[in-house]
Chains A and B, each alone.
Chain A
Amino acid sequence: MTVPIEDVWAAAELVAFGLRPGARPTEGNPYGLLLERYRTSTAFRDAVDTVAGGLGLVVLGAPPRTGLVLTTQPGSVFAVRMADLRGGNLGADDKLVAGLAVLGIAAYAFPTDADLDATEVKIVEVAALDRFIRDAIERLPAATDGSAGGSAGAEHRRAADVYRRTAAFRPKDRQPGPARGCTQFAVQEVLGWLVERGAARAMPQMGPSTYQLTDRFRLLVADMAGGEALSALRAAA
């Protein structure tokens, strides 16, 4: 099957739209038209998937309201690892707390497996989410080998204890909001990263540190991150 060169151009254009977190498809704008083509024409869809694949990207889906949802293959020029965030200044504990915060947001947003297929979205408030994670930690069965005892080295501490021992809130100097080094700051930072990637949106009408998760977040969790983390978990256990 040969693809007309104009279609390759259009396919690349659609991928470019998908890469812009701010771009929104509407009925009739160029993004919307290309997206409609992607959703209705198999040949065009294959062209887009191929162009994306060549760039090291995977098309996760194309919901009409969200646009093209892309994620990266390992090693892609677009890939960034959590370790590189905050200018690579993330310490080991910070990294774990941030990772747990992402997992916590997903657990909060999708309490049952059916939720991963529903299009409902949730609003997330920083302090409430921190409480949700801490409640989940409280519900865990107590550590069996006394590793929560404090004197244990880093390699024996449970992830839950790393989170639990970090203060929930530390005030900032003369400014509202949490300061670096507490878990609420980590949650807020993670939500900020999600906003940058179009997976969340600030929702100031519902409160100063309130965010709305988008459909993109659901697709990322459902189709990529969940599976990856499960295989990592199987490898770790």
Chain B
Amino acid sequence: MQPELFDVADAPELRSPVADASMRARWRALILTDPVARLVRNAAHADVHEAYDLRQLALAAIDIAVASLGFARPVTLAELVDEIAGLAALMRPDPAAALDAARWVIKGLLNDTDNQSAFVYPFADTARGTSEEFAFKLLQLQDGPDGAVVLASPQAVMVYLNGLDLDVDDAEAAFSVVLQRQLRDRRFEAAGRTATQAERVSVAMSASLADVLDATRRDVRAFDWVTDVPSRLERAREHVEARIAADAEVLNHVAAGIDTETDAAVRRASGDLVDTLRRIRQVHLDLAERVAGARGVFLQAQLSQVFARRIQLRLLNIEAELFQPVLQLTQPRAQPVAEAFGDRILGLRVPRLLHLDGLTDMLLTPPRVTGPAEAEPELPGETEGADLQSYPPAVVAAATRILRRAEDRPVPLSALLAEAGDADERELVLLSALWAYAPDGTGDEEDDGLTALTAGVAAERTGALLDHPGVVWGDDLMVTYRRDERLAEGALAEAAEGTEA
């Protein structure tokens, strides 16, 4: 060790550029786009076609996420994928490959390779001789009524603003100064570009405020409402006030210019500028509305959360404290732990509501002989159909043929059942009639097939008794079948699948 070698006390003039105060800010601005670079680098290993400009797609995804946050409602993941896939299809019209590219870009922005955790970059702080980690996310998902919604982080907002690492308030003020000067110099095209930039900043400002309000709605403690947020709101309010006045002034100036201007190019540029400025004014008005309602959001959130109970302290690291210890236990010991966990997660099952069709079927089917389970397991995606049966096309065709006998005049169900060749046909005819008589209201997804069927079959109680030993017993039904061209046999089959046999 020779510490004197590094002793720089005698040479204060030589300053390391690393210690520069702006270094950290510029470093941050630099790494914000690294996730995009990374996903482009790795795309070669993932069979993403090179015709797709992934950088552009990534920027577009961020733009959509930020802009949707700035306005009415966050975009859902499904919508974002569709949107980006549509954009990718313009680069190379192959729907499947475009969808792959879109998924790849969004997974990259979500940091899917790192289990969707934050992007982490170490910053070497030479002044203090330490290394600190800078962690950030670009996009994140949140549960929404129509599926996961995509939220843009403050860092994503910066990428949206050309990687500027500065306060959005300052950015907008800077743009307005530039805009004024360009107008004074009659550089209308440049002014148009600046105005578009200024619009993006306004949207970003609106988005960051939306983020504050949304987080507050979830948890009042997410932001400091004693000093920080009120001052931000105050700034936003002043900003809107100043901007609306300034925008109006610029707008008048440009509009007055259009009337007297003779140069066609300048007139067109000024016209575009007027459009942009009008849009910006709308953004500002939206922002004003948001600022005005912010206090109410806070009070409302406080009111509804003050009584919120914490059932337990959630100080649990699942992987370290639960998952790994369980993996290391022997099977007989691990079993109860894994089951205790699984039982709680999967433990709530709503008993099937009894409906006429289900009930008769359940009561009247002969007891099932338990044999080796060789049936093909259903895909979990189609879980609603976990206990559904689908009928072979031949049975559906036969059942349709039988039901058609009721096309001209109503036929008693008992007569139709007598027609059936085998048990499956009989069951399908019976279920269709029962379904028409007492539609099962569960499961919205099933409704399409169901309505299609009940539109075709109608059933009325006759008062007579229906008695088919081993099949059904009860009130007989009078069945009518209305032929409808739309009711292809497929619809019947679909409806038959919907019956909870």
Instruction: Give chain A's interface residues, CB within 8 Å of chain B.
Output: 19-22, 24-26, 39-40, 42, 45, 57, 60, 63-66, 70-72, 77-83, 85, 87, 89, 92, 95-96, 98-100, 102-104, 106-108, 110-113, 116-117, 119-123, 128, 132, 136-137, 140-141, 143, 147, 154-160, 162-163, 172, 175, 177, 180, 185, 188-197, 199, 201-207, 209, 212, 214-217, 220-233, 235-237
Mark each residue of chain B from 272 to 284: 1 if its CB lies under 8 Å from any CB of chain A, else 0: 0000000000000
A160 to B373, CA, bound (A): 27
A104 and B345: CB pair below 8 A?
A: no
A123 and B148: CB pair below 8 A?
A: yes
Residue B141 is within 8 A (CB to CB) of chain A in the complex: yes
A221 and B345: CB pair below 8 A?
A: yes
Least Cβ distance of B178 to chain A in Å?
37
Given the known interface contacts A228-B340, A229-B340, the answer about A95 and B335 at a Cβ–Cβ threshold of 8 Å is yes
The residues of B that contact A216 with a CB separation of less than 8 Å are 143
Residue B451 is within 8 A (CB to CB) of chain A in the complex: no
The residues of A that contact B147 with a CB separation of less than 8 Å are 201, 203, 212
A229 to B444, CA, bound (A): 35
B383 and A99: CB pair below 8 A?
A: no
B348 and A72: CB pair below 8 A?
A: yes
CB-contact partner of A136 in B78, B107, B323, B347, under 8 A: B323
Instruction: Determine the main DSSP class of A at the interface with B.
Output: helix
A100 and B327: CB pair below 8 A?
A: yes
A233 and B337: CB pair below 8 A?
A: yes
Residues 302-348 (chain B) with a chain A CB within 8 angstroms: 303-304, 307, 311-312, 314-319, 321-348
The residues of A that contact B463 with a CB separation of less than 8 Å are none
A70 to B386, CA, bound (A): 22
B143 and A99: CB pair below 8 A?
A: no
B329 and A99: CB pair below 8 A?
A: no
Which chain A residue has the least Cβ–Cβ distance from B137? A120
Chain B contact residues (Cβ within 8 angstroms of A): what range? 35 or more
A236 and B141: CB pair below 8 A?
A: no
A155 and B331: CB pair below 8 A?
A: yes
A77 and B351: CB pair below 8 A?
A: yes
B341 and A102: CB pair below 8 A?
A: yes
A78 and B327: CB pair below 8 A?
A: no
The residues of A that contact B351 with a CB separation of less than 8 Å are 77-78
Given the known interface contacts A65-B145, A99-B342, A120-B140, the answer about A195 and B329 at a Cβ–Cβ threshold of 8 Å is no
A235 to B334, CA, bound (A): 11
The residues of B that contact A220 with a CB separation of less than 8 Å are 344-345
Q: Which one of B6-14, B33-41, B110-118, B388-396 contacts A? A: B110-118
The residues of A that contact B329 with a CB separation of less than 8 Å are 158-159, 236-237
Residue B349 is within 8 A (CB to CB) of chain A in the complex: yes
A121 to B330, CA, bound (A): 32
A117 and B314: CB pair below 8 A?
A: yes
A83 and B339: CB pair below 8 A?
A: yes
The residues of A that contact B350 with a CB separation of less than 8 Å are 19-21, 78
The residues of B that contact A214 with a CB separation of less than 8 Å are 143
The residues of B that contact A141 with a CB separation of less than 8 Å are 328
CB-contact partner of A192 in B303, B330, B376, B380, under 8 A: B380
A151 to B311, CA, bound (A): 45
Given the known interface contacts A39-B304, A212-B77, the answer about A221 and B334 at a Cβ–Cβ threshold of 8 Å is no
Residue B72 is within 8 A (CB to CB) of chain A in the complex: no
The residues of A that contact B103 with a CB separation of less than 8 Å are 205-207
The residues of B that contact A217 with a CB separation of less than 8 Å are 345
Given the known interface contacts A71-B344, A71-B347, A228-B344, the answer about A104 and B330 at a Cβ–Cβ threshold of 8 Å is no
The residues of A that contact B348 with a CB separation of less than 8 Å are 19, 57, 70-72, 78-80, 197
A111 to B316, CA, bound (A): 10
22 A-B residue pairings within 8 Å (CB atoms): A71-B347, A79-B343, A82-B342, A95-B338, A96-B335, A99-B338, A100-B338, A123-B112, A136-B323, A155-B330, A159-B329, A191-B380, A192-B380, A194-B346, A205-B81, A206-B77, A216-B143, A229-B337, A230-B316, A233-B337, A235-B336, A236-B334
CB-contact partner of A203 in B77, B325, B340, B378, under 8 A: B77
Mark each residue of chain B from 82 to 125: 1 if its CB lies under 8 Å from any CB of chain A, else 0: 10000000000000000000010011001010011100000000
A103 and B380: CB pair below 8 A?
A: no
